Structures are given as structure tokens and as C-alpha cells.
Amino acid sequence: MPRIKNKSVKKNITKKIKVKKEKTNKKSVVKEKVQNPTVLQLNKKNKKSPQLVRGMKDIVPPNSSDWVKMYRTADAITEAYNFSFFESPILEEAVLFARTLGKSSDVVSKEMYVFEDRDGNKLALRPEATASAARSYLTSGMVNMSQPVKLWYYGPMFRHDRPQAGRYRQFHQFGCESFGVHDASLDAEVITVAYNFIKDLGIETTVHINSIGTPEERAKYIVELVGYLRSKRSYLSEESKKRITKNPLRVLDSKEQQDIEAMEDAPQIVDWLSENSKQYFMNVLEYLDEVEVPYVLKPTLVRGLDYYTDTVFEIFADSNEPLASQGALGAGGRYDLLVEELGGQPTPGVGFSIGLERVLLEIKSKREKEKQNLEEGQKMSIKKGKKELFFAHLGEPSRKRTLALIEELRRAGITVRHCLGKVSLKGQLELADKFQVTHSIILGQKELQDGTIIIRDMESGIQEIVDQKKIKKEVSKILGIAY
């Protein structure tokens, strides 16, 4: 018996020791955790706020409304030209871009964000969307749809470049890709969409265009070009010297002054094109003449990505802004071998992408100029002819009624500017001035009781008292819309 008792006591003691050990272990785990630097930082209540990553930007008011406008413009123009919306994942296999854009392209060799995920897959943040569209054309069964398959996209791309105005590490592109048909009309169609998108946003541009022919034609040209580059080697920049063997075509569009001078007498690719390729290029230009898209021929334009064949183009703002010299607003071309490169059947394709941050810089600088002109008394308003209203209120009870009246107007399809915070009437009218509205609606305590509103012409200062029930009619009259 005592043995049994002893046994149970022993068991009990062992249990207690075990629990104690476990507790000690837990303590050491806690201790270990505390020693983990990230936990330490948090425990120490490190007050330094997380910062925006270099080269990336938030899209915030007031500029965010320009983003909405760009999106709506893209939506409208792609609908008019029958492109279907397309979106691919931001992460792709890194090999997709290395194989299609080219290992020696700047994008792949210097700028791509590449990393291994937890499963050891080598992934990349997409630096552009054309390769993704071609991959998706194959993997999503678009091959079996009626051709051409015309896609449009709008979203962020990532390149680890040196950030500066118009060049970011996360930037946004609007683009169109047209798969399945080799015809000059489709080259002209995508160029027209790109050109009109920017024009619809109020920016005048010109298309720079060239043809780089087939890979065979290009190979013959490259032999000639390399010979020329070797003869001019001592005049070239260090970067271009390296490119003679790595990627000689890129020397053609170097921005270095010494390279530009050395390349003045360089052979031009157009002289190495076959009759077929020349005729195709002529057809594209004829279509552009037909739709009145302005272009200039650029024999040195070759583009920095490997997948192009035949037509290549870049779109530049006509403004002589320093921003415009940062680079093209958009670019594109034909890529008839891209789908095949990814393992598909021979499938021609053509498309473009526009850098939206660069378009935004143009919009902003144009707006700035117009504002200056306005301030200088020149009658050039950004809102020329456009009437807008601001709804101002005075006091808490009228604020509630204001919201109801704004909603009544909205249901009638009328939007008005307003500020429902506890802002003084003076503050609200200043805001109205900032928005450059032509009229303000004012609802004070007296009007609230009378069931009226005041409509004030902001230019003449003339005020009219109107029955609240007639608000839709009166506002429609001002805006010149049918009631």
C-alpha cells in the first residue's frame, strides 16, 4: 500500500516538476521573443511613424479627382473602340519578363523587383503589362475567342529606377493590347486610341514613329550598325561603349549629347527593311493620315524592349515643358513573336501603354499656366463656359436641410460643390471662390424658416431669393439643362 501511495506522490511531484518546467520554458520563449529586434522595437514604443516607400506615391485629394477623370476617359475611349477590360495579377513569374522583354533590357537587368516567395518561387512585381497580357492570352483561353482579342488595362507597374519627376518606382499605366490579327489598321487603331486618350484630357501630343522590321532584317542592320559604332567608339559615352556588344540598338536612342553627335551619320534601319515591311509601315502611316493623328518619322526610334517587330512608336507632349523632356507620355508597338515566345501558336499583336503620372504632370502644368493667365486678367478660364454651383449653409439646423436638398438635386442628376463641416459662411464662400463656381446657393436660419434659399451670382454679386420647392428648376435654369 505505502508503495502505491508513494507512487502517487511521486507521480504528483513529477507532474508538478513538469508544469514548472513548462512554465520556465514558456518564460524563456517570452524572453526569446523579447530579444527579437522587431518585437523589441514595438515594445519600446518606437514612435517613428512608418514612411512612404521611396519612389512610391499615395493618390490623395485634390489630385485624386484627376485620377478618376483619367480612369473615366480610358473607360469611355476603350468602350468606343470595343476593347474589353483586362486585369492580371501584380505578381508574375520573373522568367516571364526576362524571356520577353529581354535579359539585357534596362527593365529586366536593372529595374525589376525580383524576390523568392516562401515556396522558393522566383517572382517579380510586374514592370509592365504586355508580357502579362500575352501570358494571360494563353493561360486564360483567349486563344479560342474570336480574333482580334482587344484588351485594355489600368493599374500599377513597378520598376526600381532612380526616382525623379515623371519617373517612379510604382507608377500607373493605361494600356491596350490587340492580339490575333496582323493588319496595319490595328496598329493605327491602337495609336489613335492612345493619341485621343491624351487629347481628351486636354494635352496636345505628337506621335514619333518608326519600323524596326522583322528579326532577320534587324539582324542584318545590326551587323552594319556595330561596324559603324566600332568606327566611332572613341566618341561614344562609356554606357554606349558597353552597349556595342550587349545591345547596339540602344545606342541609337541614347540621350547623351556626345552619343547624339557621334550617331549623326549612323546607318538607318529603314534602309534594311524588305519591301514587305516597308509597305506595311507605309500602310500604317496612311491610316494615321486618314484619322489625322499627327506623327513624325524617327529613324533612330528602336524601343528598349526585345519583343517588338515592325511598328514602334512613342507619344510626346507638344508643350516644351521640362517635364515633357523626362520622356514619352506613352509608347508601344507591334509584337508578332511575343505569344510564340511564351509557347503559343504564332499570334500577332500590337499595343501601347501610357504613363499616367506623366500625363498628370502635363495636366497640372497646363492648369497652372491657365491659372496664371486667369490671374493676369486674360480671359482664359479652365472652366470656360462651364457653370458650377456651391451650396453654402449657416448654422446646424440648416446644415441638415442642406444635406436633404443636395440629395434632392443629386437624384435629379445635378451635383453641386459643398462643405458640410462646421465651416463659417465666410470660409464656405472662400471655398466657392476657389472652385471658381459661377453661383452659390445659401441656406441660412431665416431661409430655413421661410422655406426659401438664396442664389447668388458670384461674379455680379446679385442675390435672388427662391422658394426651396423650386430649387431643381432654378438650378437647372442656371446650368442650362432641361428640367
How far apart are the C-alpha atoms of 230 and 227, rounded to whole Å?
5
Stretch that binds ligand HAM, among 73-81, 165-173, 371-379, 393-401 (CB under 6 A): 165-173
Of these, 73, 78, 105, 130, which contacts ligand HAM (CB under 6 A)? Answer: 130
179 near ligand HAM (CB under 6 A) = no
Give the interface segment with ligand HAM, choosing from 39-47, 58-66, 281-289, 345-353 (CB under 6 A).
345-353
Kindly state the greatest CA–CA separation across the chain. Answer: 112
Query: How far is it, in rounded angstroms, from Cα 342 to Cα 240?
Result: 30
The set of cell numbers assigned to 216 is 532577320
- Tell me if 126 contacts ligand HAM by CB under 6 A: no
Q: How far is the CB of 309 from ligand HAM (least distance, A)?
A: 11
Report how far apart, in Å, the C-alpha atoms of 139 and of each of 35, 62, 244, 334, 358 are: 47, 40, 37, 21, 32
**Binding-site member from 352, 398, 447, 475 for ligand HAM (CB under 6 A):** 352
According to the binding rule CB under 6 A, does residue 167 interact with ligand HAM? yes
Q: Identify which of 173, 166, 175 has the alpha carbon closest to the alpha carbon of residue 55.
A: 166
Does 180 contact ligand HAM by CB under 6 A?
A: no
Position 128 contacts ligand HAM (CB under 6 A): yes
- CB nearer ligand HAM, residue 356 or residue 416: 356
Nearer to ligand HAM, 66 or 224 (CB): 66
Contact (CB, 8 A) for 330 and 302: no
Residues in contact with ligand HAM, shown as a per-residue x/- string from 298 to 327 under the rule CB under 6 A: -----------------------------x
Q: Does 135 bind ligand HAM (CB under 6 A)?
A: no
State in angstroms the smallest separation of the CB of 325 from ligand HAM.
Answer: 13
Total interface residues for ligand HAM by CB under 6 A: 24
Give the separation between CA 356 and CA 174, rounded to whole angstroms: 7
Q: Quote the least distance from Cβ 225 to ligand HAM, whole Å.
A: 21
CA distance 153 to 176: 6
Nearest one of 215, 216, 213, 194 to 205, comparing CA atoms: 194
Question: Quick count: other Cβ atoms within 10 Å of Cβ 256?
Answer: 15
Residue 173 found at the interface with ligand HAM (CB under 6 A) = yes
To ligand HAM, the closest distance from the beta carbon of 101 in angstroms equals: 8
Cα distances (Å, whole numbers) of residue 78 to 68, 73, 150, 184, 266: 15, 8, 9, 19, 39
Q: Does residue 417 touch ligand HAM according to CB under 6 A?
A: no
Taking CB under 6 A as the rule, does residue 328 contact ligand HAM? yes
What's 111's DSSP letter? I
Q: Is 414 in the site for ligand HAM (CB under 6 A)?
A: no
Q: Does 213 bind ligand HAM (CB under 6 A)?
A: no
H helices of 328-481, in order, are: 338-341, 356-375, 396-411, 425-434, 445-450, 471-479
Q: Which stretch binds ligand HAM (CB under 6 A): 136-144, 243-251, 328-336, 461-469?
A: 328-336
Residue ranges with strand state E in 212-273: none
Burial (Cβ within 10 Å: 0-12, 13-18, ≥19) of residue 6: exposed
Residue from 357, 362, 447, 474 binding ligand HAM (CB under 6 A): 357
Smallest distance from ligand HAM to CB 220, Å: 24
- Asked whether the beta carbons of 338 and 349 are under 8 A apart, the reply is yes
**CB atoms closer than 10 angstroms to residue 374:** 16
Question: SS3 of 294, please?
Answer: coil
CB of 399 to ligand HAM, least distance (A): 43
Closest approach of ligand HAM to the CB of residue 130, in Å: 4
Q: Is 177 in the site for ligand HAM (CB under 6 A)?
A: yes
Residues interacting with ligand HAM, by CB under 6 A?
128, 130, 159, 161, 166-168, 171, 173, 175, 177, 327-333, 351-353, 355, 357-358
